[in-house]
Amino acid sequence: MTADVLYDIRLSISYSYAHPAGASRSLLRMLPRATEAQDIVAGEVTVEPRPDYRRDGVDFFGNATSEVAHDAMLKEIRFGFDGRVRRRGMSDLLDLSSDLRELAAEIAHTRSIAPSSPHHFLGESPRIHLHKAIAAFAADAAAGTGSALATVEAVNSAVHGEITFDSTATDVTTDPLTAFEARRGVCQDMSHIMIAALRSLGIPAGYVSGFLRTDPPEGQPRLEGADAMHAWVRAWCGAEMGWIEIDPTNDIRAGQDHVMVGFGRDYFDVAPVKGSLRSMGPHQTTHSVDVVPVD
Amino acid sequence: MPDTSAAIAADIAALLADYAPPEGVADELLAPDGELRPVWRPLLETLLGETAEDLEHRFARGDTYLHDAGVYYRQYSGGGSNERDWPLSHVPVMIAANEWADLADGLKQRAELLERVMADLYGPGRLISEGHLPAELIARNPEWLRPVVGIRPQSGHFLHFLAFELGRSPDGSWFVLGDRTQAPSGSGFALENRMATSRVFHDLYPNAGVERIAGFFRGFREALNDVRSDGGGRIAILTPGQMTDTYFEHAYIARYMGLNLLEAADLRVVDGELTMQTVSGRVPISVLWRRLDSRSADPLELDEDSALGTPGLVSALRNGGMTMVNCLGSGVLEARALLAFLPRMARAVLGEDLKLNNIATWWCGQAAERAYVLENLERMMIGPALSTRLPFDLDATTALGGRFRDEARSPIEAWLEAEGTSLVGQEAVTLSTTPAMIGGKLVARPMVLRAFAARTADGWQVMPGGYARIGRTEDPTALAMQAGGSVADVWIVGGEAAEKVPHAQRPETPFLRRKQGALPARAADNLYWLGRYVERAETAVRLLRAYHLRLEEAGFRETELVSEFAAFLGRRGLDVSQPVPPGLVRLFEGARDGAAKIRDRFSLDGWMVLNALAEAAETAGEGIAQGDDTARQMSRFLGDLASFTGLVHDNMYRFTGWRFLVMGRAVERAQQMAVVVAAFAEGSFPPGGFEIAVETGDSVMTHRRRYAVETNRDTVVDLLVLDEGNPRSILFQLDILAEEEAAVAGPRGPREISEAARAILRLRTALATARPEDVDNARLLEIADEIGGISDALSAAYLG
């Protein structure tokens, strides 16, 4: 069991518009969620300029949301999170997962549509469609594995090996098949590809948005995806083991360097900012993240 | 008198000579023993002895009504869409009141069950945890909207208005083919069918004991009033807009029930509350009758790409200040697979068996059901489990009777094994047949019936009647329904409730006085532009008439006057080489299309005039000569336009909307007049220009009476620009604008005058104090610009 780690986290996402934007409404998912693995010591989601309307809530999957609206025309808007999170210590993972062949029956016996139910995480979702090419890739990667966890790990490594990290090849709207065919992308693309792959094998899989520690502990390599919000995968490994988190971008289990903000079926469910800025013409976005351990 | 009845029986037999329902299906007209069902007798007796001509005349009454009323639906095919005439099958379907009462009873039970199922799926989810419904059918259903989970409707109910697609089995019992819970259409078309059919059978309908359907709408309107949270607040219908296939119906119901018809652009969520933009600012909405699919309703929480949505709508619903009819997410109940589980859910939820069966359905995600479907392939339709289409709306991924529609697919066994969880088998049902008059003969055609239920303070009420779809061919399998066909009214007869209604009384009259509420800004904008288009068309017609008279006078020679006139018209998009230039047709169409956008607030007669004008204009130029002939045609157009204007002035209630129509006309008339006077009173225009200006201003007689001199520039400007008594003058238009703008603005202090009012007052004062010689051509063009400025200011103040 490793020791707890405290992080100071600062996230800032801003938009500036060449032409002032009219009345706007945005839905934010930027506040890290409290889980068994982490809790929020302090912190809040901030909006500048101050919105005319704000309502904080929780979405279906339990992620924290803030709805904000501005009545006036805006040239610039900034959304941020500032806070401190305690990431709990971890122990090694024992493979308590089910045999892949048993998984379908276990899922069918899960009589629930509560947020934790695996049923939400199979089939298609707004950003995930099932593609033959990805399914064939998944079948190859899974060949010879037995347990659900072993399969998830094999697919994780395969995605990591197949897809080159390239922050210029895709954008936030790229669909998984395009990224897969280009064999390039960022954490969002790799996570989406892996989710599509796992679902094609019958393994319930979802999307996690969150943060990565900016600078690695001494003597360890810097992880990919630490400059902006990060994404990884959540997979259901059977009734006994439940959900595990795994990071295809870095080919590792999501560990103490990972801080979860929210989870859902895919990016659609957890986008940090969804907006309806009725803007005329181009806009610019800046996005920065700092995740620094507190000594 | 036995002789007479024997004669009638023989006549009826003759009328039914070609009526042969297929073997093995139920027929609405004939009982299994071949005897005429009693409910049909009065209808058949009405038709007895009518010649083909009589029938044609009879049916034409209904068709004329539909055509004049502009009833249409929009049909999408290939790359485009077009408006189609309403395909009325003139013979109504007759159903006995006692039979209908049983059916209605079954539908009420079903409505109650659907409400309870929806409340559970968006609430505790017990139907799933207790094993009455497989979780994946909900979790993978794109119509189950996670953002709606946990919302408790402010009215206490999720469902308020439902439709059911019904068929009749060979054994005579009714069954449900599908539940329409999302945003059911058809009730307005049922009303229109009733209007048309009661005209076709004008001699029978009033005394035939047919149950009226107006009361159903009255009851629902009252129910909508009752669910308002604060006992007040506005009720509106939300439509996807004019391009949707059933827009006509949305507009029709809005007008019939006195509700605002809104599009997403009218709506905004402010401080967690749904509001609409009106000419007097934002006002909250208490009840929104949604005719838009749930997923398109909010791009922030639902479909991101929807251009039809209102950001924050889900949030407003969550905040609880508003009732939505039906609540967002109701489409989840339409999935075919649910039909497989409704019978057991009825027992679990209501503790009762379903009174009314639905089409037998097997979800292939269960091994036993899958095996059953495989064993009975011959009588199965197999298709997507979560599809919300009705069973007869087949697509490429459907197999029927063991064969794929798409031949290229793998064997059915493998398909069911691999994709069973996403498939259902449904019994390949047959439908009953009903009479349709085709080629002068009564023939048997399959039908399905859409019935409607509305929630009222006294529980669910079922419309006594509905909307029948009649198959194009004799094929009695449900498949026949997908190829289109016709629609028919449904008469419920023989009950106690249907008191006889005297002849003189209109069959179904709108019943509610519209409360004069704030006018939605978009509707005001459309009315304003309608006024502008009609006036622009009128000026164009007057100019064209003047031109063709000059052409005739000149003996068709290219005089300087004629060619200058033609050039002026050409610059205005009116190509005089054709008697009715395409530019003029476009103006008429513009007026008609403008009126089409606001049919909910527009008189039917006014619409009919504009529609007829636009239709006539397309062909009016064929076979007529330039000169006098064309001038006469232009006079006819002017007559039509005058009847429109007359209807607007004499018949349209002075709502705020009327004021915007009038302001649009005044702005356009003033601007046109400035341009016309500038062009024709210009020194360089050939002699005769002054007269053209006066003629275009319809002021020839006035000019003669008022001025002792020949027409000259000063008299033209005096009469057409500065004369406050001439309804064609610019100053007169400014008086209208000042008055109407003040009425729209409402009470205000002397210093609270709007930009628009300021601009109107400035120009009005300038013209009131000007002398004819002050108004040279440069000044006229300035005036035209200033009027453009007034128009902009009006738009900014009221129409944004």
- Say if residue B641 is in the same domain as residue B677: no
CB–CB of A123 and B140 under 8 A?
yes
pLDDT at A282 over 60: yes
Q: In the structure, what pLDDT confidence band is assigned to residue B1 with cuts at 50, 70 and 90?
A: very low
Q: Could you tell me whether strands B281-290 and B323-325 are parallel, antiparallel, or unpaired per DSSP bridges?
A: parallel
In contact, A261 and A203? CB cutoff 8 Å: no
Cα(B377)–Cα(B399) distance, integer angstroms: 9
pLDDT at B499 over 60: no
CB–CB of B315 and A114 under 8 A?
no
pLDDT of the residue at B505: 42
pLDDT of the residue at B98: 95
Q: In what order do the strands lie in the sheet with A258-264?
A: A252-253, A243-247, A230-236, A205-212, A258-264
- Say if residue B574 is in the same domain as residue B593: yes
Hey, what amino acid is at A235?
Answer: A
Q: Assess if residue B625 is contained within a domain.
A: yes
pLDDT of the residue at B595: 86
SS3 B470: strand
**Which residues in chain A have Cβ-Cβ distances shorter than 8 Å to B150?**
60
In contact, A128 and A199? CB cutoff 8 Å: yes
pLDDT of the residue at B76: 57
pLDDT at A1 over 90: no
Distance from the Cα of B386 to chain A's closest Cα (Å) equals 12
Q: Do A100-270 and A5-88+272-293 fall under one CATH topology?
A: no
3-state helix, strand, coil in chain A (%, to 5): 20, 40, 40
**DSSP string covering B624-646, please?**
--TTHHHHHHHHHHHHHHHHHHH
pLDDT at B6 over 90: no
Question: Does an H or E element contain A65, and which?
Answer: strand A64-70
**Which residues in chain A have Cβ-Cβ distances shorter than 8 Å to B149?**
60
pLDDT of the residue at B407: 55
- Say if residue B412 is in the same domain as residue B476: no
SS3 B508: coil
pLDDT of the residue at B321: 84
Cα(A263)–Cα(A117) distance, integer angstroms: 13
Question: Minimal CA–CA distance to B349: which of B651, B132, B102?
Answer: B132
pLDDT at B205 over 60: yes
SS3 B289: strand
CA angle B143, B147, B152 (to 5 degrees): 100
pLDDT of the residue at B72: 67
Distance from the Cα of A129 to chain B's closest Cα (Å) equals 12
User: Model confidence over B31-81: pLDDT tens digits?
Assistant: 999 899 999 999 999 998 788 899 999 999 998 888 877 776 666 555 555
Q: Largest Cα–Cα distance in chain A?
A: 60
Distance from the Cα of A27 to chain B's closest Cα (Å) equals 7
pLDDT at B156 over 50: yes
Options 1.20.1050.10, 2.40.10.10, 2.40.37.10, 2.60.40.2250; CATH for A5-88+272-293 is 2.60.40.2250
Rounded to the nearest integer, the mean pLDDT of chain B is: 88
**Which residues in chain A have Cβ-Cβ distances shorter than 8 Å to B268?**
23
In contact, B216 and B461? CB cutoff 8 Å: yes
pLDDT at B503 over 60: no
Residue-range domain boundaries for chain A: 5-88+272-293, 100-270
In contact, A137 and A158? CB cutoff 8 Å: yes
Q: Assess if residue B76 is contained within a domain.
A: no
Cα(B7)–Cα(B18) distance, integer angstroms: 19
Cα(B598)–Cα(B313) distance, integer angstroms: 24
Residues in chain A whose Cβ is within 8 Å of chain B: 23, 25-27, 52-53, 55, 57, 59-61, 67, 69, 71, 107-108, 110-114, 117, 119-120, 122-124, 126, 268-269, 274-276
- Say if residue B248 is in the same domain as residue B285: yes
More confidently predicted of B185 and A216: B185
How many whole angstroms from its chain centre is CA A224? 14
pLDDT of the residue at B119: 98
Residues above pLDDT 70, as percent of chain A? 97
User: Model confidence over B765-795: pLDDT tens digits?
Assistant: 999 999 999 999 999 999 999 999 999 999 8
CATH class assigned to A100-270 = alpha beta
pLDDT of the residue at B122: 98
- Say if residue B455 is in the same domain as residue B552: no
Q: What is the ipTM of this complex?
A: 0.95
pLDDT of the residue at B394: 66
Scanning every residue of chain B, which has its alpha carbon at the shortest distance from the alpha carbon of A66? Answer: B315
pLDDT at B184 over 80: yes
pLDDT of the residue at B764: 94
Instruction: Give buried/exposed letters for B622-643 (b at 16+ CB in 10 A, else e).
Output: eeeebbeebbebbeebbebbeb
Hey, what amino acid is at B687?
Answer: P
Q: Assess if residue B538 is contained within a domain.
A: yes
Cα(A257)–Cα(A214) distance, integer angstroms: 9
- Say if residue B289 is in the same domain as residue B383: no
More confidently predicted of A66 and B86: A66
pLDDT of the residue at B73: 65
In contact, B147 and A60? CB cutoff 8 Å: yes
Report the residue of B117, B128, B386 to disrupt the A interface, i.e. the one with the largest count of A CBs within 10 Å: B128
**Which residues in chain B have Cβ-Cβ distances shorter than 8 Å to A110?**
135
pLDDT of the residue at B512: 46
Enter the tokens of residue B270. 């402010």
Q: Assess if residue B691 is contained within a domain.
A: yes
**DSSP string covering B87-137, please?**
-B-SSPEEEEHHHHHHHHHHHHHHHHHHHHHHHHHTTT-HHHHTTSS-HHH
User: Model confidence over B128-139: pLDDT tens digits?
Assistant: 999 999 999 999
pLDDT at B572 over 50: yes
Q: In the structure, what pLDDT confidence band is assigned to residue A227 with cuts at 50, 70 and 90?
A: confident
SS3 A236: strand
**Which of B389, B407, B427 delimits the end of a domain?**
B427
- Say if residue B330 is in the same domain as residue B246: yes
pLDDT at B515 over 60: no
A102-116, A202-216, A279-293, B780-794: range with lowest mean pLDDT: A279-293
Residue B381's beta-bridge partner residues? B400, B426
Indicate the Cα dihedral angle B726, B729, B730, B736, nearest 10°: 40
Question: Minimal CA–CA distance to B675: which of B798, B539, B561?
Answer: B539
Enter the tokens of residue B181. 């819970």
Overall pTM surpassing 0.80 (yes/no): yes
Instruction: Work out the burial of residue A162: count CB atoms within 10 Å of its CB; fewer than 13 is exposed, 13-18 middle, 19 or more buried.
Output: middle
Count of positions (residues) in chain B: 800
Cα(B487)–Cα(B448) distance, integer angstroms: 10
Indicate the Cα dihedral angle A81, A85, A91, A92, nearest 10°: 10
pLDDT of the residue at B514: 44
Q: Could you tell me whether strands B234-238 and B260-262 are parallel, antiparallel, or unpaired per DSSP bridges?
A: parallel
**Which of B652, B682, B707 delimits the end of a domain?**
B652
CB–CB of A55 and B134 under 8 A?
no
A26-35, B49-58, B207-216: range with lowest mean pLDDT: B49-58
From A27, A112, A276, residue closest to B135, measured CB to CB: A112
pLDDT of the residue at B485: 82
In the block, which residue shows the tokens 């000149």? B554
The sign of the CA dihedral B46, B51, B54, B58 is positive
Question: Minimal CA–CA distance to A193: which of A220, A148, A161, A146?
Answer: A161
Distance from the Cα of A85 to chain B's closest Cα (Å) equals 27
Residues above pLDDT 90, as percent of chain A? 75
pLDDT at B166 over 90: yes
- Say if residue B475 is in the same domain as residue B546: no
pLDDT of the residue at B513: 45
Q: Quick one: average pLDDT of B545-574? A: 93
Q: Which residues contact B765 (CB under 8 A, 6 or more apart)?
A: none
Question: Minimal CA–CA distance to B389: which of B487, B482, B269?
Answer: B482
**How many domains does one find in chain B?**
4
Q: Assess if residue B30 is contained within a domain.
A: no
Q: Quick one: average pLDDT of B603-624? A: 86
- Say if residue B477 is in the same domain as residue B405: no
Q: Assess if residue B63 is contained within a domain.
A: no
Q: Assess if residue B784 is contained within a domain.
A: yes
Question: Minimal CA–CA distance to B161: which of B32, B301, B30, B259?
Answer: B259
- Say if residue B442 is in the same domain as residue B304: yes
More confidently predicted of A278 and B648: B648
Cα(B137)–Cα(B341) distance, integer angstroms: 11
Q: Assess if residue B72 is contained within a domain.
A: no
pLDDT at B25 over 60: yes
pLDDT at B606 over 50: yes
Question: Minimal CA–CA distance to B316: which of B275, B266, B262, B264?
Answer: B275
How many whole angstroms from its chain centre is CA B508? 18
pLDDT of the residue at B601: 73
Cα(B126)–Cα(B128) distance, integer angstroms: 5
pLDDT of the residue at B509: 45
Domain that holds residue B423: 360-427
- Say if residue B120 is in the same domain as residue B221: yes
User: Model confidence over B385-436: pLDDT tens digits?
Assistant: 999 988 877 665 677 766 665 555 568 888 888 889 999 999 988 899 999 9
pLDDT of the residue at A226: 77
pLDDT at B206 over 60: yes
Cα(B179)–Cα(B356) distance, integer angstroms: 12
Question: Minimal CA–CA distance to B269: which of B281, B284, B288, B289?
Answer: B284
- Say if residue B290 is in the same domain as residue B191: yes
Enter the tokens of residue B141. 């259903």
